[in-house]
Chain A
Amino acid sequence: MKKLHRTLVHSSSNQQSESDQDIPDKKGEPLSKDIKVNFEKMQDIFANSSDAVIRRFEVGSDVKIGAFIVYIDGLVDREIVQLSLMKPLMVDINPTTVGCELNKKNALTIIKERILSISEVNEINCLQDAVNAVLSGDTVLFLDGSSTALIAGSRGWEARSIETPDTEVVVRGSREGFTETLRTNTALLRRRIKSPNLKFESMKIGRQTQTDVIVAYIKGIADEKIVEEVKRRLSRIDTDSILESGYIEEYIEDDPLSFLPTVGNSEKPDMVAAKMLEGRVAILTDGTPFVLTVPYLFVEAFQSSEDYYSRPYYASFLRTLRYIAFFISEFAPAAYIALTTFHQEMLPPALLINMAASKEGTPFPAFIEAMIMNIIYEILKEAGVRLPRPVGQAVSIVGALVVGEAAVSAGLVGAPMVIVISITAVSAFVVSSINDTTTIMRFFYMILAGSLGIFGIMIGAAGFLTHLASMRSFGVPYLSPIAPISTQDMKDVFIRAPWWAMHTRPRVIGWKNLVRQKYNLIPKPNKDDDNK
């Protein structure tokens, strides 16, 4: 709460320059009644922009009214511009269809109401708005004699189609993933939550990029205070560019110096919808398929969307497995170093002899070995991600051969170390959303284990736990519902209770509208049928 309060106070003082675009009448130059002035201004603004199209023409059959449209080639759907905008204005317009004679005074209203066959038409009267609309892919129509221009919704550009996301693969469940287009993403969410309570509040962030950002939440389920706080933190951002939701994440985090994320992200609409239905707020950013969700809790890293679609027993088993994998990926190399360097007595004699034998010929202490292997592994991983696909295969073969086989037979590292590092590497991917944190922490634990054995590991772990316990995400304790404990919420932490048993939302987030379903929904035979 302290931090929240601090940001509240902080943000209110910094809240000035963002509102340029939101309130058109207050700022920005008004449009002129003279079309020549407007035309020159637009030409001036879009000078040297080869993709901007400014087309002059005349409207009307008897009285000719000067007009021009502005759009950006590539951002508009040409068919809309040609068939629904240009053709009605230039060809179809005549007193019989319109019903009255066109003049400079009534032209704008008549064109808006009777001629343009485009569903989304808005009026604006300031230059800045016109420019913004053009840059967002709309077409702006200026008419002689009126200081108001019309925005015709004509957005349409080449976009990636909806595909299966690579980051969150599921066996059972929706295969759809978000795309780079904001409108598609909101549609994907709306298709899952067909309720008028699903709200999309949009804003523009970035002085140069003017990125569209949408705050999505379900009214009545999400806590208004969190929604307000999200909007406040977003409006604080005053920067050149927002190119990906990662930018936003770093600007709105609670604990910016922490290793751990306090903002979640997902590429799957069903996942985001489920989180919003638990009371969270989603932040959609134009140009990226990654949607942010807040508040983000530590336990969310161990939840997968598939847990909720498959049967509860296996889902609970997988949950437990993920926690185990997390501990392995954090501690396995450190524990191995501590065991072989400080606490050999803990190993059973047979294993100890084996390990001593394999370490016999190697020149480095366990700590150096583990460091070398871990760094090589991280390099291989990074190379595998970045390299073009055909080359990537070569890297993995070289990596497997050199690191796995040759290093051992050359006597550089012991065979057990290779096993430990590979188990660690595989485990880290089980809890992929905090993979980066575990990687960094692993090196810390290895250093601590190399210098102080079990004491180092445990005191480091205690410090890490303290750090986790001290964090908050949008006012919600990061470790909840484990600490502070909320026994009701434990049904979705280490296990996943059957759906009919989870009749409340998580208390820490969805406390505003707690009950999500009827009690006692467990399926049972109908007694009336039996009696008959």
Chain B
Amino acid sequence: MLEDGKISNLQFICIFVLSRLMLTMTYLSYFKAPPFNQDLWLSALLSAPMHILFMLPAYFLAQRLRNMTAVQSAEVILGPAGKLVSALFVWFFIHRTAIILREFGEFFTSILYPETPILVFIGLTALFAAYAVKNGIETICRVAQIALPVILFSVLLIMALLVKNFDLRCVLPVLEDGIAPVIYGAFVIAARTGMILGIPMLLPYINIPGKLKNYLIIGFFVLSFYFCIIVLLTAGIFGIEQSKIIDFPFFYAVQLISVGDFLERIDVLFVAIWISGMFVHASTHYYLAVLGTAQLLKLKDYRPIVPALGIIIVNLSILQSENIVVFNKFLSYKVYTWYVLLFMVILPSFLLLVAVIRKKGADSR
């Protein structure tokens, strides 16, 4: 085996939730997606069942071939042609890592360090993430296990400090345009959870894979709860129209915190916890990219390709778009949703279908 570490279900769900929550917390691109109105918080709540729906193909694929990652199982199911699908999975993780690093860097160059080149942030994060990747999935999971409680608690604390700025009238009336846009919104939110493909990638390393579904469902509900309160609060503070315009709504909301004239402008603390979360997020995807590549090329050890892949990822993340405007166009719900869905739902469904028809992996259950 390439990776001889074992992780627990709880640890897996920690990296899962952390990966999903971090970018959302700062970017909150959902305001620029359906339902385009104050019902977004309902979409956020409904994202949990939508997540479960999207999870099914990947989950059943993983459970069908329990001791194989998605990259390996594609080859078993489809034969030599499966290499193509495996390569697509690997590309997805490489691209995702590049996107994460770019979004991470863009935040700093636009908010805190306007003069510093973005390469500094992307390169330095990739360097430290490479160290984490080199140490394997166990290490990344342990870091996530420490970071996640801190982050979840901090978000709740921020909520508590901001509650006096909240104006309920901003999120009323409920269901002005009916239920359909709300469901479409939930669909868009859930479709961004690219980490669902991490289930078939990491299931072979989970110590009790049978219990994963309970943890996943809890994880989805935690996620939708946090999405909901973040969206609700941001919309309640800025109003829905304002939230659509600003780049980092939640971050600006944190800047408004002012308690007793001394606890002010704690946005830097928010940035601090955000960095630790993003670090885990980036390392997880980086790790999956490295693991996938090693399995695609049938290497004995994945460590030698960590720096090589890191250089590719850093270059890709800088070259993929000229500026944040073009970048955001790609990340908008019209493009990115379907891009992720292709890898996250369509390819696993296809693999699962072929596996059922060709009766592959059924005996291993």
Pair from one complex: yes
Interfacial residues, chain A to chain B (CB-CB below 8 A):
1-2, 342-343, 345-346, 348, 452-455, 457-463, 465-467, 469-470, 477, 479, 482-485
| Cross-chain contact A466 with B131 (CB below 8 angstroms) | yes
For B10-37 the 0/1 string (1 means CB < 8 A from A) is 1100000000000000000000000000
Given A466-B139, A483-B141, 15 extra CB contacts under 8 A = A2-B4, A346-B267, A452-B116, A455-B275, A458-B271, A459-B125, A462-B143, A463-B132, A465-B147, A466-B143, A466-B283, A470-B132, A479-B142, A482-B146, A483-B145
Q: List 9 A-B contacts (CB under 8 A).
A: A345-B265, A452-B120, A459-B128, A461-B276, A462-B275, A465-B143, A466-B131, A469-B142, A485-B145
The answer, yes or no, to whether B8 is at the interface (CB within 8 Å) is yes
Which residue in A345, A454, A463, A483 is a CB contact (below 8 Å) of B146? Answer: A483
Enumerate chain A residues within 8 angstroms of B272, measured Cβ to Cβ: 454, 457-458
Closest approach, in angstroms, between the C-beta of A223 and any C-beta of chain B? 19
Enumerate chain A residues within 8 angstroms of B279, measured Cβ to Cβ: 458-459, 462
| Cross-chain contact B264 with A458 (CB below 8 angstroms) | no
Closest approach, in angstroms, between the C-beta of A153 and any C-beta of chain B? 50
The chain B residue with its CB closest to the CB of A467 is B131
| Cross-chain contact B142 with A455 (CB below 8 angstroms) | no
For B120-154 the 0/1 string (1 means CB < 8 A from A) is 11001100100110011011111101110000000
Closest approach, in angstroms, between the C-beta of B213 and any C-beta of chain A? 21
| Cross-chain contact A453 with B131 (CB below 8 angstroms) | no
For B242-268 the 0/1 string (1 means CB < 8 A from A) is 000000000000000000011011111
The answer, yes or no, to whether B335 is at the interface (CB within 8 Å) is no
Give the distance in Å from the alpha carbon of A375 to the alpha carbon of B231 in the complex: 48
Enumerate chain A residues within 8 angstroms of B264, measured Cβ to Cβ: 346, 348
Which residue in B8, B10, B271 is a CB contact (below 8 Å) of A454? Answer: B271
Enumerate chain A residues within 8 angstroms of B141, measured Cβ to Cβ: 483-484
| Cross-chain contact B112 with A342 (CB below 8 angstroms) | yes
Most chain B C-beta atoms within 10 Å of own C-beta, residue among A454, A477, A479: A454
Give the distance in Å from the alpha carbon of A461 to the alpha carbon of B271 in the complex: 13
Q: What total of chain B residues lie within 8 Å of the partner, measured CB to CB?
A: 40
| Cross-chain contact B268 with A459 (CB below 8 angstroms) | no
The answer, yes or no, to whether B338 is at the interface (CB within 8 Å) is no
The chain A residue with its CB closest to the CB of B124 is A459
Enumerate chain A residues within 8 angstroms of B139, measured Cβ to Cβ: 466, 469-470
| Cross-chain contact B142 with A463 (CB below 8 angstroms) | no
| Cross-chain contact A454 with B268 (CB below 8 angstroms) | yes
Give the distance in Å from the alpha carbon of A467 to the alpha carbon of B279 in the complex: 13
Which residue in B4, B11, B113 is a CB contact (below 8 Å) of A455? Answer: B113
The chain B residue with its CB closest to the CB of A2 is B4
| Cross-chain contact B112 with A483 (CB below 8 angstroms) | no
| Cross-chain contact B8 with A479 (CB below 8 angstroms) | no
9 tightest A-B contacts by CB? A469-B142, A470-B135, A458-B275, A483-B142, A462-B279, A483-B145, A463-B128, A470-B139, A466-B132
Enumerate chain B residues within 8 angstroms of A454, measured Cβ to Cβ: 112, 268, 271-272, 275
| Cross-chain contact B135 with A1 (CB below 8 angstroms) | no
Closest approach, in angstroms, between the C-beta of A181 and any C-beta of chain B? 42
Enumerate chain A residues within 8 angstroms of B121, measured Cβ to Cβ: 455
| Cross-chain contact A346 with B131 (CB below 8 angstroms) | no
Closest approach, in angstroms, between the C-beta of B270 and any C-beta of chain A? 10
Closest approach, in angstroms, between the C-beta of A15 and any C-beta of chain B? 25
The answer, yes or no, to whether B108 is at the interface (CB within 8 Å) is yes
| Cross-chain contact A453 with B112 (CB below 8 angstroms) | yes
Enumerate chain B residues within 8 angstroms of A482, measured Cβ to Cβ: 145-146
| Cross-chain contact A469 with B143 (CB below 8 angstroms) | yes
Contact flag A455-B146 (CB < 8 Å), given A462-B275, A466-B139, A485-B10: no
Closest approach, in angstroms, between the C-beta of B207 and any C-beta of chain A? 10
The chain B residue with its CB closest to the CB of A345 is B265
The chain A residue with its CB closest to the CB of B107 is A455
Enumerate chain B residues within 8 angstroms of A469, measured Cβ to Cβ: 135, 138-140, 142-143, 146
Closest approach, in angstroms, between the C-beta of A439 and any C-beta of chain B? 22
Closest approach, in angstroms, between the C-beta of B260 and any C-beta of chain A? 10
Give the distance in Å from the alpha carbon of A454 to the alpha carbon of B280 in the complex: 17
Enumerate chain B residues within 8 angstroms of A346, measured Cβ to Cβ: 264-268
Enumerate chain B residues within 8 angstroms of A479, measured Cβ to Cβ: 142, 146
The chain A residue with its CB closest to the CB of B271 is A454
| Cross-chain contact A466 with B135 (CB below 8 angstroms) | yes
| Cross-chain contact A462 with B128 (CB below 8 angstroms) | yes
Enumerate chain A residues within 8 angstroms of B147, measured Cβ to Cβ: 465
Enumerate chain B residues within 8 angstroms of A477, measured Cβ to Cβ: 142
Contact flag A455-B112 (CB < 8 Å), given A483-B142, A483-B145: yes
| Cross-chain contact B275 with A348 (CB below 8 angstroms) | no
Closest approach, in angstroms, between the C-beta of A242 and any C-beta of chain B? 32
Closest approach, in angstroms, between the C-beta of B352 and any C-beta of chain A? 32
Enumerate chain A residues within 8 angstroms of B135, measured Cβ to Cβ: 466, 469-470
Closest approach, in angstroms, between the C-beta of B8 and any C-beta of chain A? 7
| Cross-chain contact A465 with B146 (CB below 8 angstroms) | yes
The chain A residue with its CB closest to the CB of B116 is A452
| Cross-chain contact B265 with A484 (CB below 8 angstroms) | no
Tell me which residues from 271 to 315 in chain B have a Cβ below 8 Å from any Cβ of chain A: 271-272, 275-276, 279-280, 283
Give the distance in Å from the alpha carbon of A462 to the alpha carbon of B120 in the complex: 16
Closest approach, in angstroms, between the C-beta of A366 and any C-beta of chain B? 16
Enumerate chain A residues within 8 angstroms of B112, measured Cβ to Cβ: 342-343, 453-455
Give the distance in Å from the alpha carbon of A454 to the alpha carbon of B273 in the complex: 10
| Cross-chain contact B113 with A484 (CB below 8 angstroms) | no
Give the distance in Å from the alpha carbon of A479 to the alpha carbon of B121 in the complex: 28
| Cross-chain contact B124 with A484 (CB below 8 angstroms) | no
The chain B residue with its CB closest to the CB of A344 is B265
Closest approach, in angstroms, between the C-beta of A311 and any C-beta of chain B? 28
The chain B residue with its CB closest to the CB of A465 is B143
Enumerate chain A residues within 8 angstroms of B131, measured Cβ to Cβ: 463, 466-467
The chain B residue with its CB closest to the CB of A477 is B142
Enumerate chain B residues within 8 angstroms of A484, measured Cβ to Cβ: 8, 11, 141-142, 145
Enumerate chain A residues within 8 angstroms of B266, measured Cβ to Cβ: 346
Enumerate chain B residues within 8 angstroms of A466, measured Cβ to Cβ: 128, 131-132, 135, 139-140, 143, 283
Tell me which residues from 76 to 117 in chain B have a Cβ below 8 Å from any Cβ of chain A: 108, 112-113, 116
Enumerate chain A residues within 8 angstroms of B275, measured Cβ to Cβ: 454-455, 458-459, 462
Enumerate chain A residues within 8 angstroms of B136, measured Cβ to Cβ: 470
Enumerate chain B residues within 8 angstroms of A470, measured Cβ to Cβ: 132, 135-136, 139
Closest approach, in angstroms, between the C-beta of A159 and any C-beta of chain B? 45
Enumerate chain A residues within 8 angstroms of B146, measured Cβ to Cβ: 465, 469, 479, 482-483
| Cross-chain contact A348 with B276 (CB below 8 angstroms) | no
Contact flag A462-B276 (CB < 8 Å), given A455-B112, A483-B146, A484-B8: yes
Enumerate chain A residues within 8 angstroms of B10, measured Cβ to Cβ: 485
Closest approach, in angstroms, between the C-beta of A455 and any C-beta of chain B? 6
Give the distance in Å from the alpha carbon of A1 to the alpha carbon of B136 in the complex: 13
Give the distance in Å from the alpha carbon of A342 to the alpha carbon of B272 in the complex: 14
Give the distance in Å from the alpha carbon of A345 to the alpha carbon of B254 in the complex: 14
Give the distance in Å from the alpha carbon of A479 to the alpha carbon of B11 in the complex: 14
Closest approach, in angstroms, between the C-beta of B180 and any C-beta of chain A? 42
Closest approach, in angstroms, between the C-beta of A481 and any C-beta of chain B? 11
Closest approach, in angstroms, between the C-beta of A187 and any C-beta of chain B? 41
Give the distance in Å from the alpha carbon of A461 to the alpha carbon of B124 in the complex: 13
Tell me which residues from 308 to 331 in chain B have a Cβ below 8 Å from any Cβ of chain A: none
Most chain A C-beta atoms within 10 Å of own C-beta, residue among B140, B142, B261: B142
For B46-59 the 0/1 string (1 means CB < 8 A from A) is 00000000000000
